[in-house]
A = this chain, B = another copy of it.
């Protein structure tokens, strides 16, 4: 189903940009995991509008409430419902959207598919739907922490437009990522990126870029042949995020410019474990994690909502011009970092539970 994700740790999200609220129901969470609203709020705050001058100024406190599935600070094993009300939904700012299809948005396709759409703010196609993912991902992170105490998921802005940062995935930390509003742990490049984003807002334009994500200390054995390879589920997770256009793992597209003898990762023994000398595989071989660092990159297109005039058509088939007036992000990447982490956590925890279900205890393999 279209708003469900995961097989054993399954989330079901709901909510439009304007309406009663957004949220998620998490089914299949293991019991006896410590969980509070703060654990979720912390991640939602990283995704929140208005968190810095670089992002949309829509005023949403995004305060979450856990309605079920947690008792006396612990998960029960039953569905965890997390609800976030919508607060600052100024539909009037979007009046033109009622009659005009915004270019490179989902207005036209939703209308064509369903014969109806919630035009204010983009409805279900708004990035506001990612509240449910991030809340679900926050719970997933808690479960992963309980199963694999050393596991770390760190995503960061690797490139914005033509500005590429220099970051070592082996050592980059979450606090470095959070040290600036761009969420690029290369401080110097981050400052230039911030300036670029501000200038884009000023000129009514937008930019995109690339987010890289690294998973350290994942156990061996996550991912399943044939269709549910770990990289396949990660690719789906990432391409399901708004504004994404590409995914690559390990050597990715650049790996096609090497020969096999250059590309293969030789095995060696290190500290009594089978390890690879290089890691062009990106931590996954045959669809299954091999104990090395998992890393991948996701391409985000420039924000479709821009203040410059654009050619488009109306819902009744007349050609017209549109100039966006709603509040929006001139660059989605800073707020997309927690989304990438959330989807990564959701993929990993689902595969961890599946691995345990079919093959027994997973902690032993970490």
Interface size class of A (residues with CB under 8 A): 35 or more
Known contacts A30-B358, A224-B2, A225-B3, A80 near B14 by CB under 8 Å: yes
Complex interface: chain B residues within 8 A of A108 (CB): 267, 274, 285, 290
Does A89 have its Cβ within 8 Å of any Cβ on chain B?
no
Instruction: Produce 1/0 per residue, A323-366, CB < 8 A to B.
Output: 00000000000000000000000000000011111111100010
Does A125 have its Cβ within 8 Å of any Cβ on chain B?
yes
Complex Cα distance, B316 from A269, in Å, reads 10
Does the CB pair B226–A67 fall under 8 Å?
A: no
- Among B78, B220, B299, point to the contact of A109 (Cβ < 8 A): B220
- Interface-side segment among A41-49, A148-156, A181-189, A243-251: A243-251
Complex interface: chain B residues within 8 A of A193 (CB): none
Does the CB pair A239–B231 fall under 8 Å?
A: yes
Q: Which residue of B lies closest to A355 (CB)?
A: B113
Complex Cα distance, B319 from A174, in Å, reads 36
| A/B interface sample: 29 pairs, CB < 8 A | A1-B224, A3-B25, A13-B25, A13-B79, A15-B68, A15-B79, A16-B69, A19-B71, A20-B66, A21-B81, A23-B81, A28-B358, A32-B114, A74-B116, A78-B124, A103-B265, A112-B221, A113-B220, A125-B286, A205-B259, A208-B255, A228-B240, A245-B253, A256-B299, A264-B304, A264-B306, A268-B311, A269-B319, A361-B361
